[in-house]
């Protein structure tokens, strides 16, 4: 058995918030697959079903985000599960909208819901982070996460949630790369973080070919090797060379 928990805040006031994308993801799973009706238990709304031949418990904690771990920890202990049996789905400020990342364990990144899960369940659970973008300044973060998605966000949000629900079997089976690729194809967002463009190292100067000119010599115009044969200059050169030969 596995628990898939979506993080968010309960009530219609928060339903459209960016912070509630975890709830939205679990709702999409519930709509797309044969789960039972939502019921109340473990301080949460829960629904039972099956994915990839495995029993799944969907959980939406009703304790508010900051104490989500109380609900999930209670369900985990009731079913005698371990952190490895939990998949948490939540919003990530440091990912661009439409991006997704999936890993086991790690830090909380300042996310209060994850802090609570870490405290009540341990840290070694799988974490599906869904990008909501960063507003660009720390003082704007609270209003951003507790603000509703804009209408324009539907262009990536709906395909993301649909792809997540359609490919949930891959998520449950632990086929993380395939799962993330499906989400990336659906949203047009890269499945992996962008790598900064690295400037190409300057090409090493080519060595002059044997018998050829150096790059410095090549840059100089060829000077005709002509010596005067008559006149005062010719006489001076003759005297110079004759002295050299005498030595």
Q: Which two tokens stand for residue 155?
A: 């262009």
- Of the candidates 108, 19, 110, the one whose C-alpha atom is nearest the C-alpha of residue 61 is 19
Domain range list for the chain: 2-187, 215-246
Q: pLDDT digits over 147-183, tens only?
A: 999 999 999 999 999 999 999 999 999 999 999 999 9
Strands 100-104 and 126-131: antiparallel
Q: Which pLDDT score, from 0 to 100, does residue 182 have?
A: 96
- Is the confidence at residue 242, as pLDDT, over 80? no
Q: pLDDT digits over 108-134, tens only?
A: 878 989 999 999 999 999 999 999 999
Q: pLDDT digits over 19-54, tens only?
A: 999 999 999 999 999 899 999 999 999 999 999 999
Tokens 């952190």 correspond to what residue? 83
- Please say if 215 is a catalytic residue: no
Question: What class does CATH assign to 2-187?
Answer: alpha beta
Q: Which pLDDT score, from 0 to 100, does residue 174 have?
A: 94
d(CA 140, CA 131): 16
- Helix, strand and coil content of the chain, in percent to the nearest 5, comes to 40, 20, 40
Say what percent of the chain tops pLDDT 90.
71
> Choosing from 19, 111, 134, 144, which is the catalytic residue?
19
Of residues 242 and 173, more confidence is placed in 173
Q: Which pLDDT score, from 0 to 100, does residue 141 have?
A: 92
Q: Which pLDDT score, from 0 to 100, does residue 202 have?
A: 47
- Is the confidence at residue 245, as pLDDT, over 70? no
Q: pLDDT digits over 45-83, tens only?
A: 999 999 999 999 999 999 999 999 999 999 999 999 999
Q: Which two tokens stand for residue 9?
A: 């805040």
Q: pLDDT digits over 194-234, tens only?
A: 333 333 444 455 544 444 444 444 444 444 445 556 666 66
Residue 40 phi, psi dihedral angles, 5° rounding: -105, 125
In total, the chain counts a number of residues equal to 247
- Is the confidence at residue 240, as pLDDT, over 90? no
* Verdict on whether the full-model pTM lies above 0.85: no
- Of the candidates 157, 164, 147, 134, the one whose C-alpha atom is nearest the C-alpha of residue 16 is 147
């Amino acid at each position: 058995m596995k628990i898939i928990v979506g993080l968010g805040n309960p009530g219609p006031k928060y339903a459209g918030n960016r912070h509630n994308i975890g709830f939205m993801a679990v709702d999409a799973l519930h709509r797309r697959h044969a789960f039972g009706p939502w019921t109340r238990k473990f301080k949460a709304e829960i629904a039972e079903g099956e994915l990839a031949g495995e029993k799944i418990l969907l959980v939406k904690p009703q304790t508010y985000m900051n104490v989500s771990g109380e609900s999930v920890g209670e369900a985990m202990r009731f079913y005698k599960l371990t952190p490895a049996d939990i998949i948490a789905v939540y919003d990530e400020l440091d990912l661009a909208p439409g991006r997704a990342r999936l890993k086991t364990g790690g830090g909380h990144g300042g996310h209060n819901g994850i802090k609570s899960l870490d405290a009540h369940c341990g840290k070694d659970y799988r974490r599906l982070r869904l990008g909501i973008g960063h507003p660009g300044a720390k003082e704007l973060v609270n209003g951003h996460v507790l603000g509703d998605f804009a209408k324009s966000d539907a262009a990536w949000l709906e395909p993301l949630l649909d792809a997540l629900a359609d490919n949930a079997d891959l998520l449950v089976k632990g086929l993380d790369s395939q799962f993330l690729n499906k989400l990336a194809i659906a949203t047009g967002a890269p499945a992996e973080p962008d790598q900064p463009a690295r400037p190409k190292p300057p090409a090493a100067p080519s060595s002059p070919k044997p018998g050829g000119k150096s790059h410095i010599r090549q840059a100089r115009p060829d000077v005709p090797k002509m010596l005067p044969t008559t006149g005062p200059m010719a006489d001076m050169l003759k005297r110079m060379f004759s002295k050299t030969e005498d030595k």
